[in-house]
Structure 1
């Protein structure tokens, strides 16, 4: 073997090692425990005498092999109970039917880990696009069997909160006017909206205490100086990630817990949001 060929083989071997290391790092990022992000929202019309409430947002669990088997999700759910949420909002995409999955689970297996969650006001789920593409009726049946409330352009009153759940925009199942009308019909309360995709936000155009969503994965795979491959949103990065304010309302978009298409994450760790709602504090106290 001549020297030139040996050099080429050495470089190929080096590239293969670096590629493997990069993939391993991406898989480690995808399977790490979620970052808990926190925020506080002051509500002007907070009910007198009502203590603050802790709202836990999680999304995009994407149960599938290899990165999110039900056992891993159950462990995460049990750990989140330490945050002592008063209400848990699950913003869709419970399942992943990605072609590269090493295992696709049944609707019962997908939903079962949510039974680990404990919150005085309960657990509320709005479906995501992958749920609609997979088995929406079976998933809803399993969720309701566990006592989880599923909202599909529906509303529920939980304590002082009026929670509107808008069905998935990406798959064309959303109905914002219907949801808002249902919220109005419930009368007074602190309004919240949960939906899988944040693309419903421009259609809401009314003051609510918070809008909670997922879907974007905060990009899932992002590169330095380049950004994400996609946020799967017709608004680009406008509602891509994190704690935002638009139309006078607070918006929280989570990175999610699982992955879509590839079991990899770069610069976008899994996360959840713990948002404390309470009375607005004026500058004079």
Structure 2
């Protein structure tokens, strides 16, 4: 009886370990969404945006070599624009290796998107050496940091909020910078908690930060949401007052280098014109 119990415990432990390893290290799931923007003329070709978040480059789970592979997968999706919703870095205490800003940014230099790459900072970026990270980003002309600012990316008006979790966001400045821009209006933010303050004329808000819990329950939901609004905006697609937001589960990990029932993911979002 005791031997059987020991074997059962070992089997269950091995199965749980295999599940954690799979959920943490698997290739990202590609989630898809299509929305309509009245800012596009009928007959205009759709525009695609790939959303990445919470890359958290650090050992053991997200070395630059793994990020290189993910960048290749993103390039294969052929997005017009790539948005990175913060937390490029991770200095978690459980990390087996902390990489340099140059090592962290180098794989992102290989992203291939005709309209470029938008990056907003997250809380872990600010808790680390954000200035050094930003200097490395600036070496790649197609990588653009938006922090309480905005820019025109082809037909898209894109605003980027600095991190709300650490109190660095200035939404008045962000939306003010977007005002003179034209086309579908996109807001990129690390924390989804700014969503109630996003104007109704914004077509799409893109967020991360929550990891969809990182460690979740098998049937949905998670013990921790990392949002002041609980699970209201913490994962996936949220719609409110005609607005749409996508909160990504992200790619890497924080605190503990494990995921459970929350696969890493990349979102591919199509913005299409109204029908004629």
Q: TM-score range by the shorter chain?
A: over 0.9
Return closer, same or farther for 1:11/1:63 CA change in 2, 3 Å cut-off.
same
Q: Deviations over 1:168-200 (max 9, x none)?
A: 11111111111001111x243221000011011
Match of 2:75 in 1: 81
Match of 1:253 in 2: 247
TM-score, length-scaled by structure 1: 0.91
> For residues 264 and 215 of structure 2, what CA distance do their matches in structure 1 show?
12
Note if 1:167 corresponds to 2:162.
yes
Match of 2:24 among 30, 37, 41: 30
Q: Offset of 1:225 from its aligned partner?
A: 5.3
> For residues 60 and 225 of structure 1, what CA distance do their matches in structure 2 show?
23
> For residues 117 and 54 of structure 1, what CA distance do their matches in structure 2 show?
14
Q: Deviations over 1:8-55 (max 9, x none)?
A: x76456435523431332122111000111111111121466421111
Q: Is the 8 A contact 1:213 1:253 kept in 2?
A: yes
Q: Is the 8 A contact 1:244 1:250 kept in 2?
A: yes
Q: Is the 8 A contact 2:221 2:231 kept in 1?
A: no
Alignment of 1:9-48 (within 5 A): 11=5, 14-47=8-41
> For residues 226 and 115 of structure 1, what CA distance do their matches in structure 2 show?
35
Higher Rg of the two aligned structures: 1
Note if 1:106 corresponds to 2:100.
yes
Match of 1:270 in 2: 264
Match of 2:187 in 1: 193
Q: Is the 8 A contact 1:41 1:280 kept in 2?
A: no
Q: Deviations over 1:53-85 (max 9, x none)?
A: 111101111100001000010111012111110
> For residues 226 and 42 of structure 1, what CA distance do their matches in structure 2 show?
28
> For residues 121 and 156 of structure 2, what CA distance do their matches in structure 1 show?
20
Q: Offset of 1:278 from its aligned partner?
A: 1.5
Match of 1:237 in 2: 231
> For residues 108 and 41 of structure 2, what CA distance do their matches in structure 1 show?
30
Q: Is the 8 A contact 1:205 1:247 kept in 2?
A: no
Match of 2:114 in 1: 120
Note if 1:212 corresponds to 2:206.
yes
Q: How many residues align?
A: 275
Match of 1:158 among 147, 153, 162: 153
Match of 1:133 in 2: 127
Q: Deviations over 1:66-123 (max 9, x none)?
A: 0100001011101211111000000011011110011011111111110121011000
Match of 1:149 in 2: 144
Q: Is the 8 A contact 1:60 1:258 kept in 2?
A: yes
Q: Which moved more, 1:261-270 or 1:124-133?
A: 261-270
TM-score, length-scaled by structure 2: 0.94
> For residues 221 and 243 of structure 2, what CA distance do their matches in structure 1 show?
26
Q: Is the 8 A contact 1:55 1:276 kept in 2?
A: yes
Match of 1:179 in 2: 174
Return closer, same or farther for 1:182/1:111 CA change in 2, 3 Å cut-off.
same
> For residues 31 and 226 of structure 1, what CA distance do their matches in structure 2 show?
20
